[in-house]
Chain A
């Protein structure tokens, strides 16, 4: 092995097929024509990257993780003020520091600031629905935001998306790359949403539902929800045993 790439050739646990949704989930109509029919092939000889340098802490704006303030035009956005917080960990329970997290979401009435969204609910002039941050040295992250609203969507029936926030997480290697959605505890729309239900595993879906946790709330201002994110873990043989 070329020694410059040796440290990149670490082994990582596979994607857990019992947890992730299958490509073809016909109740979610868009998946019908966009799901590969063949099983993906495995490829064992790859080098992955641990570069992780996408953005440095000093390149982030000071309000990038505060959606209640990062798009204020004439006042703060309408809606329920919340904090989303948690850790990014791997399957070995090892915290992942300096992982970029990006989020996007609808405003408090369920409308996205996007040319493709034609829902009747109004745009909030003071809310972009965008945020990002890097995890700290212990894998912690947090966002301040507005609780997104539920909204109807075209799926062939009377379909409503539960309130959710989209999460894009980078980890340390492109093999850990993840995009997912976080829901809120107690939402009756989760159990009838074809996208949430594309996950055919009760515990796995439960892990996407954030839990009210007032320990991180801000007195008389923000209540808090906890959401941990678990990425594929390092399965490499410890270095001392490799020699």
Chain B
């Protein structure tokens, strides 16, 4: 059996300014029939790993804060695993959901997640990925969701071994991928869509 491409991808379109209605209505005070937004990483007392907060703002080409964006995150659990629906023996943490989303605050533009520090990921050939969190950003004016990747400033040793960061070692904006520690267990990750500090985005 082999795969063959027979259909063309559906093109992306901007999520527009009213994405809250469909994605996170309660967060901006739109009360639908259903009881709660589908938004949070499932963290319970049983979730393994150290609790952290990540937060930041998104800036446009004038360095103005964008207040109408939606941010989604994907990350592995504390041991470096995603859940799987195919592998039932998967060792991932049943009390962690790998995915979350939030909107920027409509007044301040701040986005934030309460999550756990992701573990290191082991790939083949002894390659490793340092702890990292994928972010996906959509908003009015963004024609197709933007992927970027958050690494941690206090994981220098693992960052040096990360097979993806190694390949980008000459990139002058590599620092844009490293979240700064601003308090105990709290990291700041600002995103710049344009300008000298333009964040590195990925085609993955």
Contacts and interface: CB of A to CB of B under 8 A. Distances in A.
B8 A207 contact: yes
Interface stretch (B49-57, B80-88, B181-189): B80-88
B22 A102 contact: yes
A25 interface: yes
A104 to B, nearest CB: 3
Which of A2, A37, A231 has the largest count of B CB atoms less than 10 A from its CB?
A2
Contact of A15 (B22, B30, B149, B203): B203
A160 B66 CA distance: 24
Which of B22, B25, B141 has the largest count of A CB atoms less than 10 A from its CB?
B22
A129 B21 contact: yes
Given A49-B83, A54-B38, A114-B20, A41 B142 contact: no
Given A166-B15, A168-B22, A205-B11, A36 B30 contact: no
A112 B142 CA distance: 20
A92 B6 contact: yes
B119 to A, nearest CB: 11
Interface size class of A (residues with CB under 8 A): 35 or more
Given A34-B66, A104-B19, A130-B32, A7 B86 contact: yes
B91 interface: yes
A23 interface: yes
Contact of A2 (B22, B122, B136, B204): B122
Interface in A24-59: 25, 28, 30-43, 45-55
Interface string B1-36: 111111111111111111111110100111011100
Contacts of B33: 61, 63-64, 70-71, 128
Contacts of B122: 1-2, 5
Interface size class of B (residues with CB under 8 A): 35 or more
A41 B202 contact: yes
B105 interface: no
Contacts of B18: 104, 112, 114, 116-117, 166
B19 A93 contact: no
Contacts of B68: 116
Contacts of B82: 5, 8, 47-51
A173 to B, nearest CB: 9
Contacts of B80: 2, 5
Given A20-B144, A102-B22, A230-B10, A45 B123 contact: yes
Contact of A47 (B121, B142, B171): B121
Interface string A193-212: 00110110101110110000
A42 B13 contact: no
Contacts of B201: 36, 38, 40-41
Interface string B141-153: 1111111010000
Contact of B203 (A28, A40, A112, A129): A40
Given A45-B129, A128-B30, A233-B7, 9 more contacts: A5-B121, A21-B13, A32-B141, A35-B193, A41-B202, A47-B121, A54-B97, A112-B21, A166-B18
8 contacts: A51-B97, A70-B33, A92-B6, A104-B21, A114-B20, A128-B30, A179-B12, A208-B10
Interface of B: 1-23, 25, 28-30, 32-34, 38, 60-62, 64, 66, 68, 72, 74, 76, 80-87, 89-92, 97-99, 106, 121-124, 127, 129, 134, 136, 138-147, 149, 163-164, 168, 171, 193-194, 198-204
Interface of A: 1-2, 4-9, 13-16, 19-23, 25, 28, 30-43, 45-55, 61, 63-64, 70-71, 89-93, 100, 102-104, 112-117, 128-130, 132, 166, 168, 172, 174-175, 177-181, 195-196, 198-199, 201, 203-205, 207-208, 228-236, 238
